[in-house]
Each structure stands twice: as structure tokens, then as C-alpha cells.
């Protein structure tokens, strides 16, 4: 399955920036977190412009690398220029055009959950890449599928954030609905770019405790590489 251009606000924004230098922002809408504007040039940042956790992840990439949700290719381009064997996987047709324009040698236009046929030493899922799993049950499905794509002792490098701070009171206590149907890190978004309105979708932000519980249950060894400045972290999951 791939994402058609008429349903792809982010892909169109990335494409227009790459081909026409149009930096019109993407509107990111949500009923849980504040709406924001995301300029497409953010997806073209250099290694020096990346957050520290992303730079740490790139340093740890080894062997055959799969960059899931490659976008405009900021990670794939850097890794390839560093002499690494990297494959960019991207569901957006428009982003794949940009990846090709930017000189990425290995590009796969597919959904990670339907992709198969090769195995890798490192799987890279940055910019909260595990969010594509949508929810906790989806995270289990995703990590189960990724086991089939890893070589022995292969690793997944993933960053995410713990959204518990959204529910923190001024006195430091946490106000959560214990009867809530969904995990507090499951957020619904909608993207708008010019006249293109994307479908509402779910995105998962997983705290490291629940991520590690699921990963270890599935046969991974999980460890924190480092923490970021605002409830974010970089983790490494190694297939035993």
C-alpha cells in the first residue's frame, strides 16, 4: 500500500519545497495538543541541525540499514554520504520522488507492515517513528513484524516521548482518567496543506516503560541510549 498524492499533505509540502522552494507550512491539528505549523524545510535539515538524540542514533547505525518513514531523506542522505548501506522506505509517492531527486540509491515505496523480502542489521525509526503503530496493540504488531526484517543481533533505534507532562498539575501531581479507554499517548491528528486535507489518523507516543515491556515480551533486549530535554528519549531494541 502507498499513499496517493491527493491524500498526502505532508508529501506535497515536501515535494513543493524540494522542487519549487515553497516553504508554506503544514498545519498539524489535534484536539489534545496545541495546533502547530510545520515548515517543510524542517525535513531537509542537515546532520548539524538535527536534535542530539537523532545525531546519536545515526552514529549507532551499522551494517545494512532500513530508514523507515524516510520523508525527505535527511537521515538517509547523511548515512549514504557517510558510506553506509542504507535503504529508504517511504509510503508517500511524492516523498519517494524527492528521495530520488536527492540521490538516495535504494528507495522502497511501501507500507512497513506490508514490506518483506530483505533483512537488516539496523532499523531506524526517528522523529517518533513508532507513532505509525497508532496504539498499543499496533505497537505489538509492528515490533512483531520488524523481527522478520532483522538479521541476528539486529537493532531497532527509535525515539519517542512520554506525554505524561500533558496531564501534570501545577503541584506536580498527575491527573489521568484511570477508566480511559485508550493509553494516554495515543493522539489523533489531521494535516492540512493548502487545499489538501488529510484524513484524521492516530499516532502513538510511547513512554519507555511500556515500550520496554512490549519489546522484552517479544524477545528484544531494550535499553535507553539517552534522554532528551523534554520527556523524550532514544532507545535501542536488540533482537536476541
* DSSP, residue by residue, 190-206: EEEETTEEPPPEEEE--
* Cα 77–Cα 207–Cα 228 angle in degrees, nearest 5: 55
**pLDDT value, residue 181:** 81
**pLDDT value, residue 58:** 98
CA torsion, points 58, 59, 64, 66, in degrees to nearest 10? Answer: -10
First to last CA, the chain: 30
Cβ-contact 173, 141 below 8 angstroms: no
Sequential pLDDT tens for the chain (240 residues) = 678 888 899 999 999 999 999 999 999 999 888 899 999 999 999 999 999 999 999 999 999 999 999 999 999 999 999 999 999 999 999 999 999 999 999 999 999 999 998 999 999 999 999 999 999 999 999 999 999 999 999 999 999 999 998 877 666 656 666 667 889 999 999 999 999 999 999 999 999 999 999 999 999 999 999 999 999 999 999 998
Residue ranges covered by each domain of the chain? 51-183+205-239
The yes or no reply on domain 51-183+205-239 and CATH 3.40.50.150 is yes
Pick the closest to residue 44 from 12, 76, 66 (CA basis): 76
Cβ-contact 196, 217 below 8 angstroms: no
How far is it, in rounded angstroms, from Cα 163 to Cα 201? 18
**pLDDT value, residue 63:** 98
**pLDDT value, residue 231:** 93
Find all residues with CB under 8 Å of 175, minimum gap 6, and list them. Answer: 167, 168, 169
- Number of separate helices (H) and strands (E) present in the chain: 6, 12
**pLDDT value, residue 21:** 98
**pLDDT value, residue 9:** 97
Cβ-contact 157, 56 below 8 angstroms: no
Cβ-contact 76, 99 below 8 angstroms: yes
Amino acid at each position: 500500500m502507498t499513499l496517493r498524492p491527493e491524500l498526502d499533505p505532508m508529501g506535497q509540502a515536501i515535494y513543493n519545497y524540494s522542487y519549487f522552494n515553497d516553504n508554506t507550512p503544514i498545519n498539524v491539528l489535534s484536539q489534545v495538543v496545541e495546533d502547530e505549523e510545520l515548515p517543510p524545510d524542517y525535513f531537509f535539515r542537515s546532520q548539524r541541525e538535527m536534535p542530539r538524540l537523532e545525531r546519536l542514533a545515526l552514529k549507532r547505525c551499522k551494517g545494512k540499514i532500513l530508514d523507515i518513514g524516510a520523508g525527505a531523506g535527511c537521515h538517509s542522505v547523511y548515512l549514504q554520504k557517510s558510506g553506509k548501506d542504507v535503504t529508504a522506505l517511504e509510503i508517500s509517492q511524492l516523498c519517494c520522488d524527492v528521495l530520488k531527486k536527492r540521490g538516495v540509491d535504494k528507495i522502497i515505496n511501501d507500507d512497513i507492515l506490508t514490506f518483506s523480502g530483505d533483512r537488516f542489521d539496523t532499523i531506524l525509526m526517528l522523529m517518533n517513528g513508532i507513532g505509525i503503530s497508532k496504539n498499543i496493540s499496533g505497537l505489538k504488531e509492528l515490533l512483531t513484524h520488524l523481527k522478520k526484517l532483522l538479521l541476528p543481533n539486529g537493532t531497532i533505534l527509535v525515539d519517542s516521548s512520554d506525554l505524561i507532562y500533558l496531564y501534570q498539575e501545577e503541584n506536580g501531581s498527575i491527573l489521568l482518567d484511570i477508566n480511559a479507554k485508550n493509553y494516554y499517548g495515543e493522539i489523533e491528528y489531521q494535516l492540512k496543506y493548502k487545499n489538501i486535507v488529510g484524513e484524521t489518523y492516530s499516532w502513538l507516543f510511547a513512554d519507555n516503560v511500556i515500550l520496554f515491556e512490549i519489546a522484552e515480551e517479544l524477545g528484544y533486549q531494550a535499553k535507553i541510549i539517552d534522554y532528551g530535554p523534554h520527556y523524550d528519549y532514544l532507545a535501542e531494541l536488540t533482537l536476541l
